[in-house]
Amino acid sequence: MQHNIKKIGVMTSGGDAPGMNAAIRAVARACSYYNVKCVGYYRGYQGMIEGDSIELTARSVKNIVSEGGTILKSARSTAFRTKEGRKKAYDNLVEEGVDAMILIGGDGTFTGGMIFSKEFDIPVIGVPGTIDNDISGTKFTIGYDTALNTVVEAIDKIRDTASSHNRLFFVEVMGRDAGFIALNAGVGAGAEEILIPEEDLGLDRLLESLQRSRRSGKSSSIVVVSEGDKIGKNVFELAEYVTENLPDYEARVSVLGHMQRGGKPSCFDRVLASRLGVKAVELILDGQSNVMVGVSDNNLIVTNIEKAVKGKHTINKELLRISDILSV
């Protein structure tokens, strides 16, 4: 490849996700392989504004492929929403000699990068990293598969006690406005009912479904509730509502919370992150900019970053049907 790239910057932004470190490692090692320098910025755009950075070499990223979190840390930056903030960030890149930036994050991260790239004519490449899987232009985002396993393992444990006590559990999972985690982890954990933002089941049908479930001989039940669910009640109100209307149910609530963001990445996420990280570097050396690299049908694909931000990654509603059949 002919190019005049001498140094590539990389950062992680938005909610952290398992596999971000594997992606950072892939970027740093691909840079080393192609004889390009690599610098990591701490805390996303905030570190770019503050010039808070560290040189990344092939050796300095060793053994992080298996670590959760992000060694570059992550943050939200209000300063970067201002022209002044972005100007500072750009000046720091120029001073440091950074020719292009790789942005590991989600929608918000890419929107910022898109504006920045246009304003200052600097190449940016997006790498989708979020547990929510809510990004267009890729079938899978880094961290999503690990989060699914974390949720399923937690619900397996909850199932043990639910089943010992013949109880009904409402388990709230993450996912922002998307139901990917709830739907897939719900099917994986054998949940009796799954509530996601994309489909409003309605309170009446929930009660019906739970009654049917008990009549069919089930002594315990799990309802997985997405945090973005639109049923009009939060998970605690939901549990109360159900207990009031179905008095023979003893209901409990579990909010899985931030543990869903951490943990050692699954093999799937490590391989995905490794492939996307290497490809991001190669895209830069190939003269590309303003694109996001993703995966579809196990092949890497490249999408205009604007299209990725504006597009919508819709869930597969077939799974809702599967869930209905399986909770018979």
Binding residue ranges for Mg(2+): 107
Tell me: does residue 268 bind its own copies (CB under 8 A).
yes
- Toward its own copies, which CB reaches closer, 117 or 138? 138
CB 105, min distance to its own copies, A: 12
Catalytic residue among 16, 99, 132, 269: 132
- The full length of the chain comes to 328
- Toward its own copies, which CB reaches closer, 67 or 227? 67
Q: Annotated binding site for ADP, which residues? A: 25-29, 159, 190-192, 218-220
Stretch that binds its own copies, among 81-89, 204-212, 297-305, 306-314 (CB under 8 A): 297-305
**Single residue of 51, 52, 111, 188 touching its own copies by CB under 8 A:** 188
3-state secondary structure 172-184: EECCCCCCHHHHH
With 0-12 CB in 10 A as exposed, 13-18 as middle and 19+ as buried, what is 238?
A: buried
CB 9 within 8 A of CB 102: yes
CB 117 within 8 A of CB 133: no
**Single residue of 6, 119, 164, 202 touching its own copies by CB under 8 A:** 164
Site for its own copies in 40-69 (CB under 8 A): 43, 58-59, 62-63, 65-69
**Single residue of 81, 200, 208, 259 touching its own copies by CB under 8 A:** 259
- Residues paired with 253 in a beta bridge: 170
| Alpha-carbon distances, residue 225 vs 15, 228, 251, 256 (angstroms) | 20, 8, 14, 11
CB 94, min distance to its own copies, A: 27
Q: What's the token pair of residue 80?
A: 């970067």
User: Please, how many CA atoms are within 13 Å of residue 328, restricted to the half-sphere of its CB?
Assistant: 4
Site for its own copies in 225-254 (CB under 8 A): 252-254
Stretch that binds its own copies, among 78-86, 95-103, 239-247, 274-282 (CB under 8 A): 274-282
Alpha-carbon gap, residue 263 to 18, rounded angstroms: 6
Catalytic-residue membership of 132: yes
Q: Which helix (H) or strand (E) holds 43?
A: none
Site for its own copies in 132-151 (CB under 8 A): 139, 145, 148-151
Catalytic residues: 132
